Amino acid sequence: MAASTLTEVARLAGVSPATASRVLNGSARKPGKDIADRVRQAADSLGYIPNAQAQGLAKSSSGLIGLIVHDIADPYFAAIARGVQDAAREQRKMVLLATTGGAPAEEKEAVAAFAARRADSIVIAGSRSSRTEDRDDNAELAAELDRYCRNGGRVAVVGHPVVGASALEGYHVIAVPNEELARALATELAAGWNGDFVVIGGPEGLFTSDDRIRGFQEGLAKAGRAPAEILRNSFNRAGGYEAGLTLAARIKGGQADTGEATGPRLCIFAVNDVMAIGAAAALRAEGLRIPRDATIAGFDDIETLRDFRPALSTVRLPLEEIGRLATRATAPGADGGDDHDAGLPQQITGEVTLRRSTEVAA
Amino acid sequence: MAASTLTEVARLAGVSPATASRVLNGSARKPGKDIADRVRQAADSLGYIPNAQAQGLAKSSSGLIGLIVHDIADPYFAAIARGVQDAAREQRKMVLLATTGGAPAEEKEAVAAFAARRADSIVIAGSRSSRTEDRDDNAELAAELDRYCRNGGRVAVVGHPVVGASALEGYHVIAVPNEELARALATELAAGWNGDFVVIGGPEGLFTSDDRIRGFQEGLAKAGRAPAEILRNSFNRAGGYEAGLTLAARIKGGQADTGEATGPRLCIFAVNDVMAIGAAAALRAEGLRIPRDATIAGFDDIETLRDFRPALSTVRLPLEEIGRLATRATAPGADGGDDHDAGLPQQITGEVTLRRSTEVAA
DNA sequence: CTGTTAGCGCCTTCAA
DNA sequence: TTGAAGGCGCTAACAG
């Protein structure tokens, strides 16, 4: 038993399919009140559900928004996804999800799949990479996006533009001031601590990570401090944990020299909260305490991590809002109206949030 | 400039659309090797991307899996979503996401929307409710699901069956042994603590919450303990926090009587980890310490919360696996093959995991 | 205001 | 093996 069709509804109501269509959807034309009711009755007596595929085919648009993330279970992306979902609802669209693990090749596949489904717009979250090993894939991704845009698709990228993508119409970038915020974080941290800094970063070439590292170093320099040493690892908890182990060994070595702990030996900046938590877990596992033996700060201000103790110093990013903005940027007519900044990158702001994990006893 | 069509490719390759179709898709028929290459060349010289909507219309199936969750930013659902996404990839399908906040009315809308898009299957996560205020909406949801199944759709529900949905073909339930596991938790907790128990639950009528509460009480009873008092609140961190405040006041009152703390005054069971964390935060905010002043356990073993201190006792649930199983259950031919349990509910297992938050000093 | 006529892009019988 | 024809369900131009 197949789902009933518009034609069946029309027949039951004794009208033409066209009329039925006009009644059941938001057509500009308003059919006669009397006939409209008949159609509506017929429709739900048959349990009629319009075939979105057919509708999409007919008007070549799908009511779909494609969302590309590295990992939907990562709270960073989950938060963004919530925002996207939220904005999608405003636009009465549904969201199609693709997770790529951050690989440009997979992202390209996802874009192609979205294009095949005629998604009205695509939101890409997750750091871009400039690693040489990704060069070709990035180029293909860029080409795929270009084509999608040229065919009328709209895309928004969170953070950096896709490497090599031309600034086509319909291509929006939601800029996140990673560098600037990391600089501000360094400034505040340097004001309260005069020892060494270490950065736990992601793999070289990940823009988000690199920007945050660069900004942090700038802030340090501006405060007259020596640049921080950089430990690179994978951009997740495991990476943070590993780096944490390394640092723990170092800290414990230092303590051995001086006999006993006399306060933090190090201020650690992990380029995202999840890595920071990983690092903190490693330190703890090695018997070190925060902020007593080392202070630590992260980046993102992941909601689920706010109950972590000691409370993690970080930079608050309006993740959900970012998702919303990105999605809205791709809405038809989003850059119309009074907005004179049409086509300019959206600007996001964040906020340095110092908490217990970087408190140095006076 | 619209995307190029199969017809254009065919023309460029000098063949008929039918042939082109056979080449470009996995048709049973094998066209001539030579002609096949011509078509493929034409295709990617034009940057041809098949129109999934048209394909879907023609063969009435869409390669889409609909996923319904309360909130994608909730780590519980995010974890399940990862599993779904994973299994979807195995099936070479994409996932359509709908978030409903848990309202049956919204869930019904989501099912209808998925049906409209001709989703091949639907996975519903998130607790069912039997609250009287939801009765009508639940009925509509059930009706919508029935219709969807009758039209050939496949659905999997995590936890309880949808109230009132008939056990149609294509309707699967992934049963989660909440009651049994909560009972086991109570048993273990009762073995190590001889004081009072309190349960922080969700609103009455939420199956997941009710099952866990019932199981817990059973376990207590079996251990010869008095039933726990039950505090009900919303099924999220805020609800846990509020309950925590109440309990904190009570604990502090008790302490005033005896002069000073002499060990935990209460063992708290929150029906999910997020509520447990909320409650813990409230206790801490009121100056109480865990497990010194009160012990606490949750349920789910949310990954992001594993670094929480003191480590939270909980019941581990294989969330990602649950998502995967649910999705696989809806795969065509999933209940065929050697499996004699076709159509029977899938069974999940969990594991009581006692950690620091319920350690009572000897 | 309603009904009729064409497709949207593809797949799938059929006949050649 | 390949091509021609019809239809999937709906909408958008026309005509009445």
Mean pLDDT by 10 residues, chain B (362 residues): 84 90 77 84 90 91 95 97 97 96 95 95 92 92 93 92 82 95 98 95 95 98 97 96 96 65 83 97 95 96 95 98 96 57 66 95 67
Q: Which of B72, B272, B283, B302 to mutate to test the interface with A (most CBs of A within 10 A)?
A: B72
Q: Which of B117, B237, B305 to mutate to test the interface with A (most CBs of A within 10 A)?
A: B117
Residue whose tokens read 């509509």: B140
Question: Measured from the CB, is A274 under 7 Å from any atom of strand C?
Answer: no
**Residue A49 touches partner B, C-beta closer than 8 Å:** yes
Instruction: Tell me the residue length of chain B.
Output: 362
- Higher model confidence: residue A167 or residue B344? A167
- Range(s) within chain B of domains with CATH label 1.10.260.40: 6-59
For residue A310, whether the previous peptide bond is cis, meaning omega lies within 30 degrees of 0, is yes
- pLDDT score at B202: 96
> Residue B294 is encoded by which pair of tokens?
């009160």
**Residue B321 touches partner A, C-beta closer than 8 Å:** no
CA distance B87 to chain A (A): 12
Cα distances from A245 to residues A195, A210, A222, A259, in angstroms, run 20, 22, 30, 21
Does residue A26 surpass a pLDDT of 90? no
- pLDDT score at A61: 87
The integer distance in angstroms from the CA atom of B52 to the C1' atom of C15 is 29
- pLDDT score at A255: 62
Sign of CA dihedral A127, A132, A133, A134: positive
**CATH superfamily name and code, A6-59:** lambda repressor-like DNA-binding domains (1.10.260.40)
**Residue B49 touches partner A, C-beta closer than 8 Å:** yes
Q: Which CATH architecture has domain A178-316+350-358?
A: 3-Layer(aba) Sandwich (3.40)
Compare CB distances from A49 to B49, B82, B112 and report the shortest one's residue.
B112
Report the C-alpha gap between B332 and A158 in whole angstroms. Answer: 37
- pLDDT score at B276: 98
Cα distances from A213 to residues A168, A200, B160, B172, in angstroms, run 30, 9, 48, 49
Does residue A360 surpass a pLDDT of 60? yes
Q: Strand A346-347 to strand B121-124: parallel, antiparallel, or no bridges (unpaired)?
A: unpaired
- Kindly indicate the confidence band of residue A340, based on its pLDDT and cuts at 50, 70 and 90: very low
Does residue A337 surpass a pLDDT of 50? no
Compare CB distances from A305 to B57, B115, B304 and report the shortest one's residue.
B304
pLDDT tens digits, residue range A232-244? Answer: 999 999 999 999 9
CATH number 3.40.50.2300 is the correct assignment for the domain at A64-176+320-331: yes
Report the C-alpha gap between A135 and A252 in whole angstroms. Answer: 41
pTM: 0.94
- Range(s) within chain B of domains with CATH label 3.40.50.2300: 64-176+320-331, 178-316+350-358
pLDDT tens digits, residue range A205-226? Answer: 999 999 999 999 999 999 999 9
Q: Provide, rounded to the nearest whole percent, the portion of chain A with pLDDT above 70.
A: 92
Residue whose tokens read 């993740």: A319
Q: At residue B218, what is the residue type?
A: E
Query: Could you tell me how far CA B327 lies from the centroid of its own chain?
Result: 11
- Kindly indicate the confidence band of residue A33, based on its pLDDT and cuts at 50, 70 and 90: confident
Nucleotide nearest to B49 (CA to C1'): C9
Q: Strand A351-353 to strand A314-316: parallel, antiparallel, or no bridges (unpaired)?
A: antiparallel
Q: By CB neighbour count within 10 A (0-12 exposed, 13-18 middle, 19+ buried), where does B171 fall?
A: buried
Report the C-alpha gap between B268 and B296 in whole angstroms. Answer: 5
Q: Which residue is nearest to nucleotide C13 (CA to C1')?
A: B18
Chain A residue at shortest CA distance from B97? A95
